[in-house]
Amino acid sequence: MKDFNRSRMATGHPALRQSGFTAPDEFAVFCLCEQPNSDEMWKAYAGATGFVLAFDTTHAAFESLRNPGKLGKITYSDEPLGTFIGPYGPDAFFRKRLKYSFECEWRIILAIHRLEDNGERDGHHVFVSQFDSACVSEVLLRPESTVEQELRELFATDRRYAHIALRRVEKVE
């Protein structure tokens, strides 16, 4: 949440307290994308070796990912936000610059104190949350993925993942 100017934030501001938010550094962002085979997203997040989890957002188990939390669709605009406590308030969590509109992103905002601190990676804390794998419908892999065999073995040996389809997707030109 480094995009926010913390010197302008008032943790105890009544508008933030009323909406359930206090300060952005108390929250984690779980990002979701509507486009499972976007080259830009693969390059930025999954690389050649990664994979994509496709969630069935209509499955009851998906609720465990967003509750407690706040789910919202990102709007894209180059209009300045002003301050965090200005007219956008907590909706500032759901705004990005227009150049990122290819992401077709949704976010789930969660309180960090509800997550498990999984140590640091590249100087940043990594927070994790357990969720019910029943809401995962498939895993997408690019042809050059290096984890396909491990995923196939996991799906074959662990009943929790037996329902998940494994699908290769080609690079979009």
Q: What is the pLDDT of residues 22-50, one digit of tens each?
A: 554 688 888 899 988 888 888 888 776 78
Which has more pLDDT, 130 or 149?
149
- Torsion, Cα 128 131 136 140, to 10 degrees, reads 10
Mean pLDDT score across all residues of the chain: 80
- pLDDT at position 64 is 86
Q: What is the pLDDT of residues 43-101, one digit of tens each?
A: 888 776 788 899 999 999 999 888 888 899 999 999 887 665 556 566 778 989 999 99
Distance linking the first and last C-alpha atoms of the chain: 32
- pLDDT at position 25 is 66
* Closest to 81 measured CA to CA, from 64, 69, 95: 95
- pLDDT at position 87 is 60
Confidence of residue 134 (pLDDT cuts 50, 70, 90): very high
Q: How far apart are CA 104 and CA 164, in angstroms?
A: 24
The H helix count followed by the E strand count for the chain is 4, 10
